[in-house]
Structure 1
């Protein structure tokens, strides 16, 4: 077996490469060419969770599962909130072939998938970015958005003004973008063309009244039924797309709350973003549309990234080999 650690994932999988890897994977998911089960989630104490995500890229292609723990408090201790492994099996003989650092793959593929959605749904002239949150996904989303749009400025908001200011200075220096801290959520999204929500909020922090026509939103922070980042009005106003429609219909918290309130039905989730990428489904229909991409995360994203790394490890010789 090949073991690939987080440092190696960071060194061998950059954002632009990840975006390119995910495009065919998300199209295949939308067209029903991949195989996956709805993820299983075990609630632990103190808001922690353990998840299992099994799947296969397609007939005769790599398959496996991600085993992941989510410890939100890790961020404040300098650790990743998502810890775990992607276990890969060889489609030729079914043998386990690799364990890959899941926290690092999750960090990059989540933002890369949002970049694909933004490229498909945001206006071509979208240049003003708002990011809610200052954790790992917030930083990755700044990098990812700059891969698909010419970002002229970034405003960021977080609950701690000091941490928000630190984030703005650090990410601005790292990316070369003009990143500024906003005093509140409304100021952060005022005039924004693209909004990324990457918080751990349990109740809405972003209201639909604050969103201008033509805005695209990536709803990322809530990855399960329960906690929500945006109010009903955001959901109702938006042309609403999913990374995987089946998952969002069952675990997409913002959609489910709006549905429970009787404001939308299942048909409000228009389809998978992969269908828009493939040209099989209309995305934005006018410059005035508000569009939203709901991200829960799909195992095919993890498998595509991990298998790419395994193939490179075999040819380039990196990773640790262990007998099995």
Structure 2
């Protein structure tokens, strides 16, 4: 059977057609179609952040493209009073900071970046833990984005076992996430269960969301981009 022709969309064409500010609300609309109840699906990070609209400290560990996208994603739904950044090399931090709004603090080590932070994002290529549970502020929320292989870690056992753990897909987390598999941490809920109201977000707990990504999210985002390109 012949395969349908592939379409190649260049990055600069995407950026002209769809800015990040446009993508967030459009993704919310797209995710809403997967909900059994009107309006119950929201941008996932809004369901788990233990914060109100303003205030608090954001810490990002890592200084690559994912760090940049998570900065804008989180700042689009919450106005933090302070943003801290750490990476293995100061040069990578300085490169990222040069592309972001002023006022971001580059920290000399991961511990000083994490201590006292309300939201921590790990977006690194680490194979061994770079975030320790003893650094985490009680009631904080951690987005664990890197370490997407069974033998890779970003977060130590104390953090994984001591926090309430959310994942995007439980089966994938138990088979693909080194942070989950090697720590033996128990999964409290999938993100979809929180969004649909079947499980609570427990914003008063110290929480971790271990992200591996879901194929339908890529498909939805791709369709949004394609539809915008087609209409322009």
TM range (shorter): 0.7 to 0.9
SS for the counterpart of 2:25 is helix
Q: Which residue of 2 aligns with 1:122?
A: 49
SS for the counterpart of 2:148 is coil
Q: Which residue of 2 aligns with 1:306?
A: 222
Whose strand fraction is larger, Structure 1's or Structure 2's?
1
- Which stretches in structure 1 are left out of the alignment for 5+ residues? 32-114, 317-324
Give deviations 1:283-308, integer Å, cap 9, x for gaps.
1252xx11111111111111001111
TM-score (norm 1): 0.62
Q: Which residue of 2 aligns with 1:136?
A: 65
Deviation at 1:166, TM superposition (A): 3.6
TM-score (norm 2): 0.85
Q: 1:231 to 1:147 in 2, by over 3 A?
A: same
Deviation at 1:29, TM superposition (A): 6.8
Q: How many correspondences in the alignment?
A: 220
- Which stretches in structure 2 are left out of the alignment for 5+ residues? 37-41
User: Among 86, 89, 92, which residue is 1:163 paired with?
Assistant: 92
Q: C-alpha distance in 1, partners of 2:50/2:178?
A: 26
1:128 and 1:152 in contact (8 A); partners too: yes
- The within-5 A match list for 1:211-230 is 211-230=136-155
- The within-5 A match list for 1:1-324 is 2-23=7-28, 116-125=43-52, 127-168=56-97, 170-171=98-99, 174-176=100-102, 178-259=103-184, 264=185, 268-286=186-204, 289-316=205-232
Q: 1:313 to 1:162 in 2, by over 3 A?
A: closer
Between 10-19 and 248-257, the greater mean CA deviation after superposition: 10-19
Deviation at 1:315, TM superposition (A): 2.6
